[in-house]
Amino acid sequence: MGQESTFRCLECDRSFNGDQSHCPFDNTELVAVKQDELIGKVFADRYQIIESVGRGGMSVVYRAQHKYIDRVVAIKLLHRHLVDDSNSVKRFQREARAASSLTHQNIISVYDFGVSAEGDAFIVMDYLEGRALDAMLDQGGPLPEHEAIDIIRQVCKGLIHAHKKGIIHRDLKPANLMLTVDEDDSVLVRIVDFGIAKVQGTEDRASQHLTRTGQVFGSPLYMSPEQWCGKSADARSDIYSLGCLMYELLSGAPPFCGKDAIETMSMHLDEKPLSFKEFNPDVTVSDRMEALVLRCLEKKPDKRFRTVADLLHEIPEKVSAPVVTQDQTVAVRLVDLLGTTPTDSSVKTGQPTTMKRRSRFILTYEKQAKLSTAILLILLAFVWIYQGPHEDPGSPGAKMIWQLELSVGETLMTAGAFSLAAPILELANWHAEHLDFILKRPNYEKRFQSMTRLASCYQLAGKNSDFERVLAKYTALDRERWEVLAHKYIRDIKSAEAYIKELRDKGESIQGHLTEPRLNLAPSVKVVVELARRLDANYSYELEYQLLFRMEQVVEKLYGPNFVGLAELKNQRASCLKRQDRIDVIENADPERGADGLYGSIKAIYEVNLRENLNLKPEESITLEQTSKNPGYIRSILSLGQWQRANGKLEEAERNIKLALEAAKKNGEFEPDELAEFYTSYANVLERLGRAEESRHCTDAARCHRQDSARALGMPYIEHRH
């Protein structure tokens, strides 16, 4: 006879045998699962396993019956794949020790712990006919204050007992609070899961190591700020978690809930919880109770209650209960989840034991209208008040108007109606200039688009003076854009310099902070070099020089004198100096590197990096093959040769330019235009050395490469003859 199929309810985690398709308790569709091999067997020689009642990442819980005393118990079994993990077993053992030392009606009782003959670690505890508090909240939302207080007071009493024993729970949350219906139909709360509990004052070194593995323990929605920071937790940490739990009981949701654990952590560390009215206008919480909850949620432990006993003393024992329907009470919700009939005579005989599940926030037609109006107002505010990201400033509404004007202007241009298109494009150009009417940030990209269309319109219409006017504004705006960006980078560089000084004053190593945003400047080197080229093209030489020189200084402090990014910065600075004819600065820029000034320094940096990458010994030379693999090094050799040629060092120039040319040809990835420059430079130095025939051959080779480049562009080659 084959083994019976087992079906599991994913809502309540109960298992069933037979042919039913839906859970009889919550009507959730059942899914077929593999039969658990322990069901029906005797475990640890004395416990008859009846069914699986829950499972998690570390353990599975079974309902079982003691063979000799007919007692129904819950057995928590560590997953077998974790038995070989000593830390998992130690935490499991610590839970058993912590819970077994506690004897209180609001804390689950543990009777046994051990390792079976098959090597399974287990804990035996009370079996509770109840459900976790999180299931209650999911079913019916927030509780009225008088019922929430009853649960909170029971949790406080259980915690007081645990804290007196020196045990901090550290993972208080609704899922770790079991609710059962007592004999008098009152709700009894039991605290469970002491898996990450901390026993104060008794942790040895091994236990401390166990606790610090992973650094942070708890559930993100309920963890105290000190837990997030990996600091030691005491009773006040449990008070913070209890405050989160109290907030959820009264409002319907935890006080802090980000889109992920990192955002939730940030909210616990930095944000203040909303008042209950701000969070959920539909709930009613007394001022006294709200003050208690908010005090529990203080970021600094010293501002919270000193002990849970102090908190319990402040919580009122009785609160007048509002008029509620019979199916609103916690007891009835719990009975509904358990699928049993209450004995309380206040519940009418024959009343259905399953009630319709309710949304936490029921929307009436009036509320829907208010919500729709609020959403509409928010959308309108977004369209006109939100001023867009830094990369594309301007409100969505202003951008739509601008786009419409631009599209209409382009359509009229296509139709040849230039006189009609021009004023519309002028208006679009004005709107592009004023897109961000609150923060006044310029939107350069949209302004350039507007000016390009407007200039094209005037050109096609034959209005040359207007065309030149717009073109002049375009040129000035282009210069402004790069200068604004340069000033932004200079501010970042100054900030890095100030931070470096601050670290040095403290005696701290700079290298230990290189990954911090203020000092992580390596990725910005290429951006700064490219920005400097834009400034160079706009004749903004002094700003370009300031940017490059300051960047060089701070980058050298951070990464050392041989950082390859320095070579790129120095090379662009040399170009800036040449454009200004400041030859003396180039010659004297780096006297410690040799007699060839800035260009010698650039080649030296590339050479040091290449030798390090190749692991060359000091006596080993760099071969042509190795040189050809590094385009930056090849370029630095050419630039040095050109500089030496300009300074009359012709023999040295000939050696370097020839080496650069041979390496570039061997590299095979230089464009024809680039190779033409190498050949032309070599031809020039050969001519000055009196080697006319060799110079002519190089000139012809340079011409061939320029012809190849023109051919690739689909254009005729333009020959210039002396």
Give the pLDDT mean for 585-591: 73
Q: Is the pLDDT of residue 359 over 80?
A: no
Please give, one letter per residue, the 3-state secondary structure of 222-237: HCCHHHHCCCCCCHHH
Q: What is the pLDDT of residue 22?
A: 78
- In 3D space, the residue among 30, 44, 119, 118 whose CA is nearest the CA of residue 75 turns out to be 44
pLDDT (tens digit, 9 = 90+) per residue, 508-521? Answer: 999 889 989 999 99
In the chain the domains, ranked by start, together with CATH numbers, are 36-126 (3.30.200.20), 131-338 (1.10.510.10), 615-722 (1.25.40.10)
pLDDT (tens digit, 9 = 90+) per residue, 243-256? Answer: 999 999 999 899 99
Give the pLDDT mean for 56-75: 86
Would you place residue 166 in the very low, low, confident or very high pLDDT band (cuts 50, 70, 90)? Answer: confident
Provide the token pair at 602.
């650039």
Q: Is the pLDDT of residue 57 over 90?
A: no
Give the pLDDT mean for 352-375: 54
In DSSP notation, 287-348 reads HHHHHHHHHHT-SSGGGS-SSHHHHHHHS-S--PPPP--GGGSHHHHHHHHHT-----TTSP
pLDDT: is 79 or 565 the higher one?
A: 565
- In 3D space, the residue among 663, 546, 688 whose CA is nearest the CA of residue 606 turns out to be 663
Q: What is the pLDDT of residue 130?
A: 83
Name the β-bridge partners of 29: 22
Q: Is the pLDDT of residue 343 over 80?
A: no
pLDDT (tens digit, 9 = 90+) per residue, 399-444? Answer: 999 999 999 999 999 999 999 999 999 999 999 999 998 889 999 9
pLDDT (tens digit, 9 = 90+) per residue, 368-409? Answer: 777 888 888 888 888 888 888 888 999 999 999 999 999 999
Torsion, Cα of 357, 363, 365, 366 (10° steps): 140
CB-side neighbour CA atoms (13 Å) of 648: 0
pLDDT (tens digit, 9 = 90+) per residue, 19-36? Answer: 677 777 677 787 776 667
Q: Which residues are catalytic?
A: 171
Q: How far apart, in whole angstroms, are the C-alpha atoms of residue 456 and residue 465?
A: 13
Would you place residue 665 in the very low, low, confident or very high pLDDT band (cuts 50, 70, 90)? Answer: very high
Secondary-structure percent of the chain, ordered helix, strand, coil, rounded to 5: 55, 10, 35
Would you place residue 635 in the very low, low, confident or very high pLDDT band (cuts 50, 70, 90)? Answer: very high
pLDDT (tens digit, 9 = 90+) per residue, 281-315? Answer: 889 999 999 999 999 999 999 999 999 999 999 99
Q: How far apart, in whole angstroms, are the C-alpha atoms of residue 268 and residue 290?
A: 18
Would you place residue 721 in the very low, low, confident or very high pLDDT band (cuts 50, 70, 90)? Answer: low
Would you place residue 197 in the very low, low, confident or very high pLDDT band (cuts 50, 70, 90)? Answer: low
Give the pLDDT mean for 703-707: 94
Q: What is the pLDDT of residue 595?
A: 64
Q: What is the pLDDT of residue 336?
A: 59
pLDDT: is 602 or 205 the higher one?
A: 602
CB-side neighbour CA atoms (13 Å) of 23: 20
Across all residues in the chain, what is the average pLDDT?
Answer: 84
Would you place residue 218 in the very low, low, confident or very high pLDDT band (cuts 50, 70, 90)? Answer: low
Provide the token pair at 155.
């949790």
Q: Is the pLDDT of residue 342 over 60?
A: no
The answer to whether the Cα torsion of 75, 76, 80, 84 is positive or negative is negative
Name the β-bridge partners of 115: 121
